[in-house]
Structure 1
Amino acid sequence: MDFHLVPRGEDRNYTGFLTKTIVYTSSLIVFLASFGLTISSIVVPKWISYHSGSSGIAYSYGLHRRCSSLTNTCESFPQREDCHDGDRYFCSMWRSVGFLMSFAVVLEGMSLVAFLIILSGGKRLRESGWKVLSLLILLSVIVQACSTSIVAYLNDNEPRFFVGWKLDESWIYCTVSWCVSLFCAVALIFSVRVLPSEGGYELIPDHS
């Protein structure tokens, strides 16, 4: 019995297209939530905070602002006077976190563009675009994970953060963000690799 290669049916082509489109669209929705958390972690100045229940005094450090309940204002941080002598190490580390988070936003922005290009493209992009897309997402995960690790280290080891200081909501936003992004990347890689290819050829027996 001989076999011949023939194009797969249109119904199978359509099913493969529809399935991959659903996967990319679902991943995009999840990733948008992660991107929103990343932006929130940068905007909200509460990576590390202190609150005294008895006196009601509260302080908080954001990536670019420092806030105090005594003045009810927030000021730019770190400033030049915050980066002298023994504070230079802390200042450098804190600015590095700010740079890393800005880089993470760039990577996530590129990931969003990649999502849109893949969804608006043809079969070839849906079949191979996940490689670049997942790489961009994983890079943003690594950058954000490094940022949260550095801030956690400073909270535990920096003398200015004594008993009572704690990691606050912005740190949590960032942690949840990179965890969601990691899940999105892994789910995308797994789904696209196990799904059948769109179109192509299949073997059918020749009874002649």
Structure 2
Amino acid sequence: MTRSYVYVSGLVAFIAGNAPISPPIQIRHPRRPATALNLASIAVPRWITFSVHAGDEKIERQIGLHKSCSTLDSPHCRDFPYKDLCLYEDRYFCSMWRTVGFLESFTALICLAGLACFVVIIRGGKYKRETGWPVPAFMMTLAATLQFVVISIVAYLYDHDEQFTVPGWNLDASWAMAVSSASICLLSAVGISASAYLIPPEGGYTFLDDPLNS
């Protein structure tokens, strides 16, 4: 049976795993707060980065799900993948990258729905706590699964696409945020599911005296 403190612990872990961070949204801009981890991974253009030193100058390029920022561009950020990257043989990369963006955005909606499930169950009384655990567990498992698909696709493109064969490219903060968020979602789902079977019922039962045998 899953008790209140289990749901509260799961909710805290879920929020902590998606806690606000402060990576740079744009190159050469001051650090500022971002939203939750999965939302930040959508907004922050740091899934894959390129960084080299050319003399005294540092050349950087940061690729996000929807933006690419570079110290060589003016303005520093533009939409990604851009049109000339999606021609001929590079159309496969564009299709895969846009799929990643869609899945990560859909995962954000799943996470928000999962938070709503936690709130409803915690406020819903003993019966909902006893019977409602499969819903948040499923939502968190689904969110984790989608994010693992996303990070796997990005890692595959990073390892196999020709544009990343030049030394200096690396998986960066947004990819790591997605890994952390997916891992915490999955662990929370496992914890809640296990508690439903391992923790004794809340309050137990009170046995009444049998008046016929007293």
Q: What band does the TM-score fall into relative to the shorter chain?
A: 0.7 to 0.9
- Once the two structures are TM-superposed, the CA of residue 135 in structure 1 deviates from its matched residue by 0.5
- Once the two structures are TM-superposed, the CA of residue 203 in structure 1 deviates from its matched residue by 5.7
Identity %, equivalent residues: 41
Q: Please report the RMSD computed on the Cα atoms of aligned residues, expressed in angstroms.
A: 1.9
Residue 106 of structure 2 corresponds to 103
Match for residue 125 of structure 2 among 122, 125, 141 = 122
1:126-141 → structure 2 map (5 Å cutoff): 126-141=129-144
TM-score normalised to structure 1 length? 0.85
- Once the two structures are TM-superposed, the CA of residue 188 in structure 1 deviates from its matched residue by 1.3
1:75-114 → structure 2 map (5 Å cutoff): 75-114=78-117
Query: Once structures 1 and 2 are overlaid, which stretch shifts more, 171-180 or 192-201?
Result: 192-201
SS in 2 for 1:196: coil
- The CA deviation string for residues 20-50 of structure 1, in whole angstroms up to 9 with x for no partner, is 1111111101101233211121111000011
1:23-34 → structure 2 map (5 Å cutoff): 23-34=6-17
Residue 8 of structure 1 corresponds to none
1:188-207 → structure 2 map (5 Å cutoff): 188-199=192-203, 201=205
Letter of the structure 2 residue corresponding to residue 87 of structure 1? D
Residue 39 of structure 2 corresponds to 39
TM-score normalised to structure 2 length? 0.83
Residue 71 of structure 2 corresponds to 69
In the aligned structure 2, how far is the partner of 1:92 from the partner of 1:80? 12
- Once the two structures are TM-superposed, the CA of residue 181 in structure 1 deviates from its matched residue by 1.1
Aligned residues: 191
Query: Which segments of structure 1 move beyond 2 Å, counting only runs of 4 or more?
Result: 79-82, 198-208
Residue 4 of structure 1 corresponds to none
The answer to whether 1:48 aligns with 2:48 is: yes
1:139-158 → structure 2 map (5 Å cutoff): 139-158=142-161
- Once the two structures are TM-superposed, the CA of residue 193 in structure 1 deviates from its matched residue by 2.1
Runs of 5+ consecutive residues of structure 1 not aligned to the other structure: 1-15
Runs of 5+ consecutive residues of structure 2 not aligned to the other structure: 19-35
Structure number with greater CO (CA < 8 Å, separation at least 6) is 1
Residue 61 of structure 2 corresponds to 59
In the aligned structure 2, how far is the partner of 1:201 from the partner of 1:179? 37
Letter of the structure 1 residue corresponding to residue 3 of structure 2? K
SS in 2 for 1:53: strand
Who wins on radius of gyration, i.e. which is larger?
A: 1
In the aligned structure 1, how far is the partner of 2:154 from the partner of 2:128? 38
SS in 1 for 2:136: helix
- Once the two structures are TM-superposed, the CA of residue 133 in structure 1 deviates from its matched residue by 0.9
In the aligned structure 2, how far is the partner of 1:123 from the partner of 1:98? 39
Letter of the structure 2 residue corresponding to residue 190 of structure 1? A
In the aligned structure 1, how far is the partner of 2:71 from the partner of 2:170? 16
- Once the two structures are TM-superposed, the CA of residue 82 in structure 1 deviates from its matched residue by 2.3
Letter of the structure 1 residue corresponding to residue 12 of structure 2? I
Query: Once structures 1 and 2 are overlaid, which stretch shifts more, 51-60 or 195-204?
Result: 195-204
